[in-house]
Amino acid sequence: MKLITTRIPDVKIIEPKVFGDERGFFMETWNAQLFSFLGIKADFVQDNHSRSVKNTLRGLHYQIKQSQGKLVRVTRGEVFDVAVDLCTSSPTFGQWVGEYLSEDNKRMMWVPPGFAHGFLVTSETADFQYKCTDFYSPDHERTIRWDDPTLNVQWGVDNTDDLLLSEKDKNAQSLEQAMAELKEHY
């Protein structure tokens, strides 16, 4: 496995070794010992799988309690995946990292606890799978606007009218509105 450090050192890109021939391929997607050696120590408690159509934007989601670390990957299609540092004492607070994850490049992204997470589907459909270090807690889930001007995430979309958003994501708060709660928990 190859570990790629991003401009936010806590967010990592993992390129697994892929063994393939005319029959298909094999790759290891999680190995606690190897990932620990690479600096990713995580006890996963939940796996999730979502399927979305092109132009679906999900996020930027996080939990104020039971903060989740996520190991994310795409098994069909392609997404632009984004992690935003919400740790108010961090030197990279409010900064984001984006990476294309696809069934072709087989890359994974480690999104540590204390980060908001979201993705935009760039292919016709995408299957997105991720492991979580804590359980989903609807009472503690929060969302920051995908288009928050303070964050200035560059989603690479020309026409935002084409985006498909849930009501929760359409009505998300700004980073400024989230600050008091973030300071209390992160």
Positions annotated as catalytic residues are: 61, 130
Answer whether 118's CB lies under 8 Å from 59's CB: yes
Report d(CA 160, CA 43) in Å as an integer: 37
H runs (alpha helix) in 2-81: 32-37
Q: Which two tokens stand for residue 120?
A: 């935009």
Answer whether 70's CB lies under 8 Å from 111's CB: yes
Report d(CA 55, CA 44) in Å as an integer: 29
Name the percent of the chain in helix, strand, coil, to the closest 5: 15, 40, 45
